[in-house]
Structure 1
Amino acid sequence: MTKTTQELAKEGQKHLEETIEAAFQILSSMNDELCNPALWSTTCTPNATDATSDSNHHIDSSGTANSALDDARHRYKTSVAALRAVLTAIPNSTKAKSFQLGSTGSDSMSPADDVVDIDKLEERASILRKELANKNEYLRLLIDQLRNLISDISTWQSPCSV
């Protein structure tokens, strides 16, 4: 059975929200990982015992962050794939009706009602596109800031002279 455009729109909106949430989770996980000082080397010449314990600590502390990051990446990929499937299905969908047949006795909407509903849907789609563009721009800004932060951190880290 083919879903109606309205059903696909609701499903698409759900997947879009999941995609945005997963993208935010990716950035949060990356931020958590970068802000965790336990992952940074604080000594230049650790002895063998310190190196082992530091190495084990790195694995333990980053394992959780990496797992959260991997989970967020997986959720992002899954939601994007689902969203693409919905967008692909929309042209093949049947026209949505905005009401259930009830006691009104009317079996169909008038063409004027259809035009009004289409205009409202197009306006809503336009608003959502603008909102998505703004969020994408914000996401790009955060990614650029993250790149700058990584660059700064790598500049600060240098081999120590003994």
Structure 2
Amino acid sequence: MEEKGLMNAKNIQELSLEGQNHLEETIGAAFQILSAMNDELCNPALWSTAAVATQAANGTADASDPSHHMEMGGGALEDARLRYKNAVAALRAVLTEIPNSLKGRPHDTGSAAVALDSKADQAEVERLEQHAADLRKELANKNKYLKLLIDQLRELITDISTWQSPCSV
């Protein structure tokens, strides 16, 4: 029974790593979408098809411009959109698998292990809180000592300044 629990834990860990990879893919695809949109917005020739039609009517643009617009902007944006869509779908699939993986755990050994971990975690938390309190006290003492040293340094500087100043007698 315990071996099965370890397998489920491993599956959850594998699922989390897979989910992290899909999340990174999603972020990369979203960045690619923004880059493609930025490329299109920075190129005034691609802002509207009316501008392309006007250029074609005036004879200033050759016939390949409208198709070039579709290949350059639309193609990169469409590729990024598909990549994003696939990454999000894969991420959602992993996220739905995680609760199913947790359901497969045996409750009797799992709850005992969780209770044991909880007690160990609680003891660790208490130990760390005590250590933090001790460090705060030590810091307060060092701050008091540092303040004393700074005050002594001020007095020393004042004394030296007084000794170095010319007498007005």
> 1-side partners of 2:52 and 2:75: how far apart?
20
1:55 is aligned to 2:55: no
Question: What is the rounded CA distance, in whole Å, between the counterparts of 1:54 and 1:84 in structure 2?
Answer: 45
Change in CA separation of 1:55 and 1:41 when aligned onto 2, cut-off 3 Å: farther
Question: Aligned equivalents of 1:16 and 1:27: distance in 2?
Answer: 16
Letter in 1 for 2:51: P
CA RMSD of aligned residues (A): 3.5
Note closer, same or farther for the CA distance 1:4–1:93 as it changes in structure 2 (3 Å cut).
farther
- Structure-1-length-normalised TM-score: 0.50
Counterpart of 1:34, as a letter, is L
User: Of 54, 59, 80, which aligns to 1:65?
Assistant: 80
* Ranges in structure 1 where 5+ consecutive residues have no aligned partner: 97-113, 124-162
Output the amino acid matched with 2:74.
I
- Map residues 110-149 of structure 1 onto 2, 5 A cutoff: 118-119=116-117
Residues 38-93 of structure 1, C-alpha deviation per residue, up to 9 Å, x if partnerless? Answer: 33352156222544431332232123212221221121011111112112222x35
> What is the rounded CA distance, in whole Å, between the counterparts of 2:69 and 2:100 in structure 1?
45
Which residue does the alignment assign to 1:131?
A: none
Unaligned residue ranges in structure 2 (runs of 5+): 54-62, 122-169
Bigger helix share:
2
Q: In structure 1, what is the equivalent of residue 39 of structure 2?
A: 38
Q: Which has the higher contact order (CA 8 A, sep 6+)?
A: 1
Task: State whether structure 2 residue 37 is matched by structure 1 residue 5.
Answer: no
Alignment partners' CA distance in 1, 2:86 and 2:107: 32
When normalised by structure 2's length, the TM-score is: 0.48
